[in-house]
Amino acid sequence: MNPTNDPSMHSFIPVSGESHFPIQNLPYGVFLRRNGSQVAIGAAIGEMVLDLTLLEENQLLACPALQGRRIFGEKSLNRFMALGPEAWREVRARISKLLHADEATLRDNQPLRDRVLIPQSDVEMLLPVEIGDYTDFYSSREHATNVGTMLRGPENALMPNWLYLPVAYHGRASSVVVSGTDVRRPKGQIKPSDALKPIFGPSQSLDFELEMGVFIGPGNALGQAIAVDTAPEHLFGMVLVNDWSARDIQAWEYVPLGPFLAKNFATSISPWVVPIEALEPFRTAGPIQNPEPFPYLRTTGHRAYNINLEVYLQGERMSERRRICTSNCKYLYWNTSQQVAHHTCNGCNLRTGDLLASGTISGPTPDSYGSMLELSWRGSRPISFPNGETRRFLEDGDRLTITGWCQGPGYRVGFGKVTGRILPALAG
């Protein structure tokens, strides 16, 4: 076992068993102290943020793979991500040692602790990565089957290509925002079912999509593919993703080239990037793939992740949020290695900071469907709330929260949350 994943290990920082951020996690993020203007890179531990920028300035993060380079004096994680797995492992091991209950370097140096450990409540989390490109996959068989059934009937639910390749489209990186950012209801062309022509106006079928995303570390040269067996070496870490979707705009625009305005207005991600290394103990078997994939997509061993996922909705007039979905990342039919291998099999070059999202993650039962489109079955089965309200799709003022975690023996490796509130469409 990798020592940084040892279930028996404890930090000198108190961490509850329900916390998403024990010493076995140590996710990376970018933050701004509320009483200052200096952007810094940190790692989450319990309810605290460990300032890696200050630790580096104090020469406490030195390790052979860095070769004397300073990498945490940046405004994003990109420079660190580009270094590759050996540097990631050494830095993670160094941070783990500094936080270990038996290590005195930080534990017994109160002045230094006061400088480098900040309550999470005293920081503003920023977008952790400079995202150059964003690709959104469509990798949940349950989700694809549900949507196909609504549109084409159960006998033609999956398109002929779906079981042969990880379907995807290129999204818009400029509108990827960090958790807590309000989302404006988009406008676009919509064609009502009883109308001969489309109209222009605000979306009336605004939706969320429960997804996970993976960030690329080292990329590949243009014209060269990444083999499916080496794909994990290019994966830095994962985040929660809400790929907001305007279903009525998409229904009119998607033929023949797919989503455009229906998706490019906003995609929300969680601020903490959980290292792939922290997720290793939670690998599990994915769905059986039949027909057998082409050789360039065949994987061995467990490539799925057992990540529990929940979605909560709270409207402006609701006194508390209500859970509307429980799902799991292990339901994804196409895994991250297959996504990377397919993305690059034609020689497409991935670059450090690229974001690959999973597509909506739906499970086998109605309470595990990862979108309002499925939960309300295209609006025909409204979701009821304790205060008497119902929802077919998202309304102005609704706050949508996604959270997720891996459950270990007495601890969790979690992702925190990604949340966003719907604002009314702009007038005019």
Query: Contact 295/282 with Cβ under 8 angstroms?
Result: no
DSSP state, 183? E
Phi and psi of 151, rounded to 5°? -90, -35
| Strand pairing class (274-275; 235-242) | antiparallel
Residue with tokens 């920081």: 123
Alpha-carbon separation of residue 241 from 2, 258, 273, 293 (angstroms):
28, 20, 11, 27
| Residue 424: cis peptide before it, omega within 30 degrees of 0 | no
Computed over its alpha carbons, how large is the radius of gyration of the chain?
A: 22
3-state SS of 100-134 is ECCCHHHHCCHHHHHHHEEEHHHEEEECCCCCCCE
Out of 10, 20, 100, 143, the active site residue is 143
The H or E element that residue 338 is part of is helix 336-344
d(CA 202, CA 426): 9
**Is 39 strand, coil or helix?**
strand
Residue 122 identity: D
Residue 143 appears among annotated catalytic residues: yes
Q: What is the DSSP string of 244-264?
A: -EEHHHHHHH-TTT--STTTT
Taking the CA atoms of 324, 180, 215 and 235 in sequence, report the sign of the dihedral they define.
Answer: negative
DSSP string, 252-320: HH-TTT--STTTTT-EEE-S-BEEHHHHGGGEE-----SSPPPGGG---S--EE--EEEEEEE-TT-SS
Q: Which residue has the tokens 């940084």?
A: 4
| Largest Cα–Cα separation, the chain | 74
Tokens (6 digits) for 234: 């290019």
Cα 402 from Cα 229, distance rounded (Å): 31
420: Cα separation from own chain's centroid: 14
- Residues with catalytic roles: 143
